[in-house]
Structure 1
């Protein structure tokens, strides 16, 4: 029996117990499904990186000596933390994107921002707000004696931030940051809400034709479960790697 026949026989056997994966034999369904898995990975990687950048920027703005800047940033952080992610995504895509498209149309220009961009943009800012709060707590946990010692050495505010406060604050905030990233991986499935062709969206397209919801839901659960497990393990490794004996444990 050839490998193709063996796979077909195995998929037929699974279909008889209610797990229909025979769409994998059809290139018409298999290709977009595999593309959807790749798109989901791209969203996760992009938003993880984007949220870290957004978190650091928001933290710096929160710590600004300009009260207007710090106050405005605080208002944004509270708004981002206290409203549903999907509502933020709809507001960005259905409102901001539409207004931008109308303005560009008046200028005889096309809107370069596709749904993929809005997913990455919104999720990065949303979790960036949580990262900023976790980092703020980390900075608050830095011992005052350490800051006084750095100041007595004549270190500038920027040098103290970069070489003293930030390394210690990250170690304290890392468990919360990793938890935020795990939540971000799960939130990436919301991309299907605005028709981004990720694994969730492609699965919906397949099961509406083949009525194999259970089989595909299992794949989606395993897919995101594996991603969150990898992020969690990477975070644990980083915690051990950055541990300073006598500090934080």
Structure 2
């Protein structure tokens, strides 16, 4: 075990941390918007819309994320109408291709978590809100959605952890985030074991921070936990 190499490689790998964080935050934020829209479509009652939304979820949950990244990065450029569209300046860049693939993937998973949380809200609370004169939209915004968000946080925390680790796949399309830098250093030093341990430790710290943030959000949104504290 070359401890000196591991220590010396740490600052260089941390140089890719900024890109890793951009991929995490960007994909989770955009994925949350996609998930909210897809979850509403799944609950809309329109059979055609529900079928299309369910097909999207099935497709992105049923295929490997690595395949999705390759299809976005290598595949979209094969279509002439995409190369001639206003989206091409973005889709030809590996950064935006990674963001798009990660967003669509986490959006599919998160939409199912959110849909299940919405369906688990007690119907009595909705009926009480309606009896107080709230419209359906107002009851959803003030009653259903806050309760659903609290209930989905534990499961959503797992999705956040998975997305932190999934950003390492962006290195396969030339992005120099933490794993990309580790792979480049391994090609120079052949120290596979030492350098991947350092990279793994960085992801471990990121996931530790992510779990703490999720627990804090759960505590803030759950009154009885605050009262007990």
After TM superposition, the score normalised by the length of structure 1 is: 0.81
- C-alpha separation in 2, matches of 1:76 and 1:234: 29
Q: Secondary structure at the match of 2:90?
A: coil
Q: 1:223 to 1:76 in 2, by over 3 A?
A: same
- C-alpha separation in 1, matches of 2:85 and 2:54: 35
Offset of 1:39 from its aligned partner?
1.2
Q: Does 1:80 align with 2:60?
A: yes
Deviations 1:119-169 (A, max 9, x none): 111111111111111111111111111111112223222111111100011
Mean alpha-carbon deviation: is it higher for 232-241 or for 63-72?
A: 63-72
- C-alpha separation in 1, matches of 2:16 and 2:81: 31
- C-alpha separation in 2, matches of 1:70 and 1:108: 29
Where does structure 2 lack aligned partners over 5 or more consecutive residues? none
Q: Does 1:190 align with 2:174?
A: no
Q: Secondary structure at the match of 1:21?
A: helix
Where does structure 1 lack aligned partners over 5 or more consecutive residues? 1-16
After TM superposition, the score normalised by the length of structure 2 is: 0.88
Contact 2:90 2:96 survives alignment (8 Å): no
Contact 1:55 1:128 survives alignment (8 Å): yes
Q: How big is the alpha-carbon RMSD for the aligned residues of Structure 1 and Structure 2? A: 2.5
Q: Which has the larger radius of gyration?
A: 1
Deviations 1:37-91 (A, max 9, x none): 2211211121221222221121122122332112100111111111111111111
Q: 1:24 to 1:103 in 2, by over 3 A?
A: farther
- 1:44-63 alignment, distance < 5 Å: 44-63=24-43
Q: Does 1:18 align with 2:8?
A: no
Q: 1:173 to 1:183 in 2, by over 3 A?
A: same
Q: Secondary structure at the match of 1:121?
A: helix
